[in-house]
Copies of this chain bind each other. A is one copy, B any other.
Amino acid sequence: MSDLPSAIEIHEEGPREGFQFEKKIFPLPDRVALVNALSHTGLKQIQVASFVSPKHVPQMVDSAELFAAIEKVPGVKHTGLWLNEKGFRQASAVENVDLNGTLLFYASNAFALQNNGCGADEMRRRQDDWIQLYDGAGLAISSVYIMTAFGCNLQGEIPIEAVTENVRWVLERFGSNGRSMPAIYLADTVGWAVPTEIERRVGAVRELAPTARIGLHLHDTRGVGPANFYAALRMGVDLFDSSVAGLGGCPFAGHIHGTAAGNICTEDVVFMAHEMGIKTGIDLDGLIDAALLAERIIGRPLGGRIMHSGSLRQFREAASFEKHA
């Protein structure tokens, strides 16, 4: 247990992941209300929306309006996602967007081809252009994502070398020359990871890049997400993406049913962390209220667990009252 971190940082992805996944476009005031509720829970980073082609992702057509309408809360970063220069320029033009310099890699060639129209090698080469672009904008590069780092619905098993070759590329460009090392995220994009692979792959990345902070972007597609979260904590990982109420999923991932679970659920992992003495800085009950708001907006039962069973606070308070009555 000694390897458990004393505190972890959780980045909320629910608003972007969740509403992007849904077929319907939800009213702007509802989406604003969810982001505002999340902004008052102690979360330090919330991904609000993406700046992508409205032809491909019509749900994100009004991202600029959404950002303009949200309440800015001191200490909370409201981030956006983009996949090309046009998207980055759009995001840069919106005042409320907290720009994060992010690079994107794929461990699966087939998934890169499907999502980006180029292979994993070409995707890697393109990241040099992104570095130039971010440099030109005076934006530090804070994180790199390695997508499909644990397996791929299109390509099957992903060898560990397909992950580490991307890490080597990052090492060549960062950590010297005045470029500080970004956080390296391993993304279980389509839910193939299990704890033993979390251990193997986090271990391999850490060995290769001991100065890099490692993050995990976990999905709960096959019910292993919480176990992967715990396995990562045991490896000392202290940086996670998650979604309130378990919102989201990958619309391009080829799941056989439409209702596949999305990211690991923020309030569930916050609960787990707190109960193990790990600080998150987040108000669990406020987060549960935000999850219930998300469920009312979406209009069907969402996959989060503790939002439906309640935190232990009420039971502890009642028990304590009994004892002292």
- Name A residues whose Cβ lies closer than 8 Å to a Cβ of B: 1, 4, 110, 151-157, 191-192, 194-197, 199, 220-227, 229-231, 254-257, 259-261, 265, 268-269, 271-272, 275-277, 301, 303-306, 308-312, 314-316, 318-320, 322-323
Contact = CB atoms under 8 A, between A and B. Distances in A.
A28 to B, nearest CB: 28
B261 A223 contact: no
Contacts of A322: 110, 155
A271 B1 CA distance: 25
Given A223-B268, A223-B272, A304-B223, A312 B192 contact: yes
Given A192-B312, A259-B301, A223 B1 contact: no
Given A156-B316, A276-B195, A310 B255 contact: yes
B308 A260 contact: yes
A189 to B, nearest CB: 13
Nearest to A220: B305
B261 A309 contact: yes
B269 A314 contact: no
B272 A194 contact: yes
B314 A256 contact: yes
A54 B152 CA distance: 50
A224 B229 CA distance: 10
Contacts of A320: 156
A85 B197 CA distance: 48
Nearest to A314: B256
Nearest to A4: B196
Contacts of A319: 110, 152, 154-157
Nearest to A249: B309
A274 B128 CA distance: 40
10 contacts: A156-B318, A156-B323, A194-B272, A194-B276, A196-B276, A221-B309, A223-B271, A227-B227, A261-B305, A261-B308
Given A156-B316, A195-B276, A316-B157, A222 B259 contact: no
B272 A227 contact: yes
Contacts of A260: 305, 308-309
A256 B285 CA distance: 13
A323 B221 CA distance: 25
Contact of A225 (B222, B226, B301): B226
A309 B255 CA distance: 5
